Homo-oligomer: A and B are copies of this chain.
Amino acid sequence: MGELQFPTSLGTSTPDRILLMGQDLTDLMGNVGFGELAFWLVALRRPTPGETRVFEAVLVALADHGFTPTAIAARLTYLSAPDSLQGALAAGLLGGGSRFLGVTEDCGGYLHAVLTEHGDDLPADEAGWDALALAAVRRTREQGRFVPGLGHPVHKVQDPRTPRLVAIADEEGLRGPHLRLFEAIGRTHEQVLGRRLPLNGAGVCGAALADLGLPVELLRGFALLARAAGLLGQLAEERRRPIGMDAYLTVDRNAVYVDPALDDRD
Contacts and interface: CB of A to CB of B under 8 A. Distances in A.
Interface of A: 1-2, 4-22, 24-26, 28-30, 32-35, 37-38, 41-45, 53, 56-57, 59-61, 63-70, 72-73, 76-77, 79-91, 93-102, 154-158, 160-161, 164-165, 167-168, 171, 201, 215, 217-218, 220-222, 224-226, 228-230, 232-237, 239-241, 243-244, 246-248, 250-252, 254-260, 263, 265-266
B91 A97 contact: no
14 contacts: A1-B1, A5-B256, A11-B65, A13-B66, A15-B155, A16-B157, A32-B60, A34-B35, A37-B63, A38-B233, A81-B86, A84-B84, A89-B93, A89-B221
Contact of A243 (B2, B243, B251): B251
Contact of A73 (B35, B76, B168): B76
A4 B254 contact: yes
A71 to B, nearest CB: 8
B89 A87 contact: no
B25 A232 contact: no
B94 A84 contact: yes
Q: Which 7 A-B pairs have the closest CB atoms?
A: A81-B97, A41-B233, A80-B95, A11-B66, A34-B35, A90-B90, A87-B94
B237 A218 contact: no
B232 A18 contact: no
Contact of A8 (B2, B239, B255): B255
A243 B59 CA distance: 29
A96 B80 contact: yes
Contacts of A1: 1-2, 4, 250, 254
A159 to B, nearest CB: 8
A98 B83 CA distance: 6
A9 to B, nearest CB: 4
Interface-central residue, A59, A80, A83, by most chain B CB under 10 Å = A80
A29 B251 contact: no
Given A4-B254, A160-B26, A87 B85 contact: no
Nearest to A225: B228
